Amino acid sequence: MPANNNLRAMLRLQTRQAHQGLDDRLAQLDLTHPDDLRIFLQINYDGFAPYAVTCPEAAVQAQLLAADLTVLGAPPTAPMRAVPCAPDRLAVRYVVEGSRLGTQVLAARWAKGASAVSKRAHHYFGQPVIRGAWGALCDKLQSIPADCELAEQVCQDAIAIFKHFTACADSALPERTQYA
């Protein structure tokens, strides 16, 4: 199968805009500041929690985020937004595993400058790296041709998940309208 004619390449291309919109919103937060860290954790909790029922990887993320919110004195409530779709598990895993990679980068910045209060909320940023999880998912995605119904569904679902997270961010950051 040609390198660009598979589900992984299709996901990268089709989710780029929705993913960037979310990243632009989250980049407005200073994760070393307790209030911004709480907002970041809440956005991600609200994003992951609705998918926890159908995807164990999302459930783990929601549990770690809930633990940190509790440490910061803001235990999570039920997510504010309903899941926009019943997504294919591959779409959820694509977002979860990609998020884990991004979290590794953010964790290094957080650890260097976080306040003592923020450092107590270490569950999400301190989660162990699951070696090979992203690679295994990429192998699976690369084995699925781009021109099949499953590929189209997974892409639509992944875009909907990114838009769900973005809506969670927009709800938490209503006064921050300047996105990069």
Query: 12: how many CB neighbours lie within 10 A of its CB?
Result: 15
Exposed (0-12), middle (13-18) or buried (19+): which is 134, by Cβ within 10 Å?
Answer: middle
Greatest mean pLDDT among 49-63, 79-93, 135-149? 135-149
- All domains of the chain, ordered by start, with CATH? 7-172 (1.20.910.10)
Give 179's pLDDT tier (boundaries 50, 70, 90): very low
In three-state secondary structure terms, 151 is helix
Output the CA torsion sign for 56, 58, 59, 60: positive
Contact between 90 and 154 (Cβ < 8 Å):
yes
Task: Quote the DSSP letter at residue 30.
Answer: -
The reply to whether the predicted model has a pTM over 0.85 is yes
B/e letters for 25-43, b = 16+ CB within 10 Å, e = fewer, are: bbebbebbbbebbbbbbbb
Output the average pLDDT for the chain.
90
pLDDT in tens, 157-168: 999 999 999 999
Is the pLDDT at 113 greater than 90, yes or no?
no
